[in-house]
Amino acid sequence: MRVVSIVGARPQFVKLAPVAKAFAAAGIDHKIIHTGQHYDVNMSDSFFIELGIPAPDLHLGVGGGSHGVMTGRMLEQLDPVLEEMDPDWVLVYGDTNSTIAGTLSAVKMHLPVAHLEAGLRSFNRRMPEEHNRVLTDHAADLCLAPTEVAMKHLADEGLASRSILVGDVMTDVCMQVRDSVLAKPRPVPGVAEGEKYILATIHRADNTDEQDRLEHILDALGSLDRKVVLPVHPRLRVRAKTDGITIARGNLETIDPLAYPDMVNAVIHADGVITDSGGLQKEAFLLRTVCTTVRTETEWTETVDNGWNILDPDAEHLAATAVRPAPVGDPGHPYGDGHAAAKVAEVLLAAKTPDRD
Ligand code: UD1
C-alpha cells in the first residue's frame, strides 16, 4: 500500500516523525511531499534531521504569500504530482494551509484522504486554522482523531461513521524525545546553568498582527519577575520588523527558534510556559510544566480541565499564573499511550479505500 504524506509547516514535521517510523515498520510504501510553507533551516530541515525523518521525496518550494496565494500555488503543483504518485491514501496533518491544499487537490482527483488530528475545534472563526480543519474533516474519507473530545466534535458534525480514535501522535514523539533528553542533559539556549526562567512563544496572527496588542503582550512578558526566553517565530520576526518593534525588553530575551529536542528540554526545565501555540500547550502538559495560554480558547481542552493550562486571552494575569504550583492529582492520559502512529498505520492498512468512481 502506498501512502503520500503532505506536510509543510513546523508542527506537521513533528507529527510526521512517528508516522514515518510506524509506516516503515508496517511495510507501507510512504512518500513525503513538503510544500515548502516553512523553509527556514530551523523551522524545517532541523526537524527532519533531529527527528530522523526521511528526506521529502518532493519539495514544492511554495513559501510566503497571502493565504490564498500560498494555497493556490500548492494546489497547482500538487495535481500532477499526486497523479503520478497514485497513492492508496493521501495523509494530511493538522490545520495549516498545506493541509487544506493537500486535501483539495486529492479529493478533486478522486484520491482517498485521511486527516490526522481530525476533530479539533476552537470554534473561533477568526482563525485561519479553524477553517482549514473544518473543511478538511468534511472533505476527508477518514478522520483520525486524537482525543474523545475530537471524536465528539466529529459526531456532532455528522462525521461519526468516518471517524476513528487513534490517539495523539505528538504524544508519541514528545515522550520519546523526553526520554532521550533526560538521558543526556543539554543547556537551554539563552539560559545560564541553574538560572530560573519562563519559556514563552507567541506567533498567532491574532497576537502578532496588531501593533498595540503585540506591544502589550511583550510588555507583560518583559515585566515578569524572572528571565523569559522567547524563541522568535518567523511571523513574529516579520511583524516586529515591519512595525519597527524591538521584541526584547525588561526580563524578556529573544533566541532563535529551537530544534525539537531543545524545545522539549527547555519546557522540562522551565518554571512555566506562556504560549499561543497549540502543540506547546500540550507538550507542557505532557512534560508537567504549568502553562498559561494567551488565547481566548484552546482546542486541547483537557489541558485546562486538569489545571495545567490557564487561558489568559489578554495577557493580564501573567504575573499570577506564569509560575504557579503544579496541580495535584493524576491528570490521566487524555492524549493516548504514546503509540498513536502505529495505530494510524494499522487503521490505514485495514481500511477499505473508498470507491469514488
Ligand atoms: C503556520 C500555520 C499555523 C501553525 C504555524 C506553526 C497556517 C494558516 N498557519 O502559521 O497553524 O501554528 O504555521 O509555525 O497554515 N516564514 C519565514 N520562514 C519560515 C516560515 C515562515 O520567514 O520558515 C514567514 C512567512 O514568509 C510569513 C510568516 O513567516 O511571512 C508566517 O508564515 P506562514 O507559513 O504564513 O504562517 P505561520 O504564521 O507560520
**What spacing in Å lies between the alpha carbon of 234 and ligand 1's midpoint?**
7
Domain range for residue 201? Answer: 176-321
Domain contains 37: yes
Q: For cell 501512502, what's the residue?
A: 3
Q: Name the residue among 151, 168, 169 with its Cα closest to residue 160.
A: 151
147 and 194 inside one domain = no
Q: What is the CATH number of the domain that holds 77?
A: 3.40.50.2000
Q: What average pLDDT values come out for the chain (357 residues) when binned by 10 residues?
A: 98 98 98 98 97 98 94 97 97 98 97 98 95 98 98 98 98 97 95 97 96 97 98 96 96 97 98 97 97 97 95 98 95 93 98 66
Domain contains 193: yes
273 and 341 inside one domain = no
Burial bucket for residue 307 (CB in 10 Å: 0-12, 13-18, 19+): middle
| Residue 13 near residue 53, CB atoms below 8 Å | yes
Among protein residues, the one with the nearest Cα to ligand 1's atom 36 is 235
Would you state the pLDDT for residue 352?
72
16 and 157 inside one domain = yes
- Vertex 96 angle, CA 305 and 78, to 5°: 150
Would you state the pLDDT for residue 238?
95
Would you state the pLDDT for residue 306?
86
Helix (H/G/I), strand (E/B), else coil: 188: coil
Domain contains 196: yes
Would you state the pLDDT for residue 357?
46
Options 115, 153, 203, 233, the catalytic residue: 203
Q: Name the residue among 151, 38, 144, 42 with its Cα closest to residue 93.
A: 144
Domain contains 63: yes
14 and 85 inside one domain = yes
Give the predicted TM-score (pTM) of the model. Answer: 0.96
Ligand 1 atom at shortest distance from the alpha carbon of 278: 12
* Residue ranges around ligand 1 (CB below 6 Å): 9-11, 37-40, 43, 63-64, 95-97, 128-129, 203, 233-235, 238
Domain contains 266: yes
158 and 187 inside one domain = no
Catalytic-residue membership of 203: yes
**What spacing in Å lies between the alpha carbon of 210 and ligand 1's midpoint?**
16
146 and 26 inside one domain = yes
Sheet hosting strand 163-165, strand order edge to edge: 58-59, 29-34, 2-7, 89-93, 113-116, 142-145, 163-165
194 and 57 inside one domain = no
Strands 89-93 and 142-145, bridge-based pairing: unpaired
156 and 237 inside one domain = no
Among protein residues, the one with the nearest Cα to ligand 1's atom 37 is 235
